[in-house]
Amino acid sequence: MSTPSGNDVDTHVQRAALITGAIAMSVVIIMGVGWFAVGRGAIEPVEGPPILPLALSGFGVLALIGAGAVSRMLLQAARSRTSTAERLGAASSAHIVGAALRESAAVVGLVATFISGDTTWVLALGALSLVAIGAAWPRRDVFEALARSDGA
């Protein structure tokens, strides 16, 4: 069993945190686009059933739940990798994929906002996305545990 230097773990944690932070920033941008577009009257609400934005938001919440499940499965798969570098790389990927999936809830909120003309959808789902991204932020202890693991 090989134990990597702290720099190897730090590099992977920093990479995952940097990309996760960029994804979180994109959620803020998505929220701003929705708020600005509706506030400026740049979009016309779509004629349709009023339940549509609510249904879309339900899918956004399901995306948040699914993101957690996918992240856990990817981290579990990372434990079975044989080399330390593979385990750490897979853990980085698991965090990044999870953050991207959590971001999708904000995108769904933006669509619901464009359909309804109501910023509540993008702001609520965007805030939930940010909370979920923050709750699943890449942590050094997770990477250290994978680095110490023997791939079994």
Average pLDDT score over the chain: 91
Spell out the residues 6+ positions from residue 139 whose beta carbon is closer than 8 angstroms to its own. Answer: 13
Report the pLDDT averaged over residues 91-106. 97
pTM recorded for the entire structure: 0.88
In the numeric block, the tokens 């904000």 are attached to 106
Confidence check: pLDDT of 11 > 60 = yes
Q: Is 66 helix (H, G, I), strand (E, B) or coil?
A: helix
Let me know if 55 is exposed, middle or buried by CB neighbors in 10 A (0-12, 13-18, 19+).
exposed
Residue 104 structure tokens: 């999708």
Burial letters 120-137, b for 16+ CB under 10 A, else e: ebbbbbbebbbebbeebe
